[in-house]
Amino acid sequence: MRTVTHTGADNTAHIRDITLNHPWDWLSAGWQDMCANPGISYFYGGLFTAIGLGLFFGLDAVGMGYLILPLAFGFALVGPVAAVGLYETSRRQADGINASFADAFTAIRRNPTQIALVGAFLLIAFLAWVRLAMLEFMLFFGAAPPSLDHLLDTILLSPQSLSFLLVGMISGGAMAVGVFAMTAIAVPMLLDRKDCDAMTAMLTSVEAVRKNWRAMMLWGSLISFFTLFGMALFFVGLLVTLPLIGHASWHAYRDLVE
C-alpha cells in the first residue's frame, strides 16, 4: 500500500491510501467497540442527547429557536474534542485492555496542552459558525427571525428560501469542510502520540483528507447523516449515533496514519 510522508516539527506520519470501503469498515469497528463498552458509550451518548435537548428547550424559551439547527450542527464541530474518552476506549479495546470510566474521563491527560489547543480552535470555529448563522438569518429575514414553530415553513417556503438556503449551504459548507479537514484525525493522533503537537496533528489531518478526499468526503457525509438522523428522532437518536461516530473516528485515524 502506498504511503505519503508528512513531516511535522517533532513527528513524522505516514499517510496510507484508503478506498471508499473504509468508512463503512470504520462504522462496523465502531459498533463493535460500542457493544464491547456499552456503559461508557451510552453514557457519552446520553450526555450528547441531554445537551441537544437542553439547546432545544433553552433556545425556544428565549425566543431563539431558529438557531437550533445551526447550533446542533455547530456542536458537531466540537465533537472531536468531546469524544476524547471514546477514542481512549477504542484505543484500549484495540490493545486488548478493558477501559474504565476513569480511563475515559482522564484520557485528555495523555496530551492535555495540545488537545486543549485543538479544543480552543474548535471553540472559536463554533462561535464563528453561530455568528454566521445569526447574520444570515438577519440578512434574509430581518430583525424578527422565524419562531421555532414556523422555522421549517419559513426557510423552505418563503420567498427568500432559495437565496437563504443557497448562501447558507455555500458559506456553512465551506466552513464545515475546512474544519473537518483540519480536525478529522487530529485529536485521535494527539491522544495516540503524546509527543505530537497540535499543529502537526492538524496538518497531518489536512494531508490525509487531501490524499484521500473521496473516501473522506464520504466519511464526512456519513457523519452529517448520522447526526441529522439522531436529531430527527428528537435528539434521542444521538444516544447511539454520536458514540458510534466517536469510536469509528478512532479507527479512521488508525487506518489513515501508520
> Residue 192: what pLDDT?
96
Torsion over CA: 248, 96, 257, 199 (sign):
positive
- Candidates 193, 175, 213; CA nearest to 73 is 175
Please list the pLDDT of the chain residue by residue as tens digits (258 residues): 444 444 444 455 799 999 999 999 999 999 999 999 999 999 999 999 998 888 888 888 887 777 887 777 777 788 889 899 999 999 999 999 999 999 999 999 999 999 999 999 999 999 998 889 888 888 888 777 776 777 777 777 778 888 888 988 898 889 989 999 999 999 999 999 999 999 999 999 999 999 999 999 999 999 989 988 988 888 899 999 999 999 999 999 999 998
- Shortest CA distance to 185 belongs to which of 138, 252, 136? 252
Provide the b/e sequence for 211-248 (b: ≥16 CB within 10 Å).
bbeebbebbbebbeebbeebbeeebebbbbbbbbbbbb
How far apart (Å, rounded) are the C-alpha atoms in residues 233 and 184? 25
- pTM value is 0.88
Kindly state the cell numbers that stand for 129. Answer: 459558525
